[in-house]
Amino acid sequence: MYLIVYVDDGIIATDEDQTVKLFLKKLESEFSVVIGKANYFFGMQIEYLESGKIFIHQEAYCRKILSRFDMINSNPVSTPIEKGVITIDDSASLSADVPYREAVGSLMSLAVVTRPDIAYAVEVLSQVLDKPQQIHWTMVKRIQRYLNGTKKCGIMYLGVTSVTLVTPRN
């Protein structure tokens, strides 16, 4: 059995229904809880597919990031980073009003939760949070363009038979 808890929400995943029933019975004896099918958790969208497959993605969060940074109508690219990445060059430092840290933080959230395909590119950008240059902002925009073409990419879990959302009531 897997139990994921975030503040006052939790997800239980197991291949044994009896295990979940016993756990929930004990939980309900201690707390008032709401039990239901998990469709959304910690910014993840959860889709149940045939034969027990579960697909998690953050399409809505991708759209939010793209809208926030005015990239929703950008032309998609096929990779999140170009080959032979330049991390420091002679380009100008970014002005303080460019939301570089916010953009990299948003991308980091995606990379950690459902988008390992952008993890390397985001890691490169996170190394220069203290003194980003124009080249780094261009790299941020490239990742966002990549996301614009791959909004619904995520992680597929195979063979999971039971996932339950648990929310304690006050």
Q: Which residues of 21-56 are buried (b: 16+ CB within 10 A; e: fewer)?
A: eebeeebeeeeeeeeeebeebeebbbeeeeeeebbb
* Of 13 and 48, the one with more pLDDT: 48
Judge whether residue 159 has pLDDT over 80: no
End-to-end CA distance of the chain: 26
Helix (H, G, I), strand (E, B) or coil at 79: coil
- pTM for the model: 0.80
For 121-154, what is each residue's pLDDT tens digit? 999 999 999 889 998 999 999 999 999 999 999 9
* Rounded percentage of the chain residues whose pLDDT exceeds 70: 89
Which has the closest alpha carbon to 23: 159, 160, 164?
A: 164
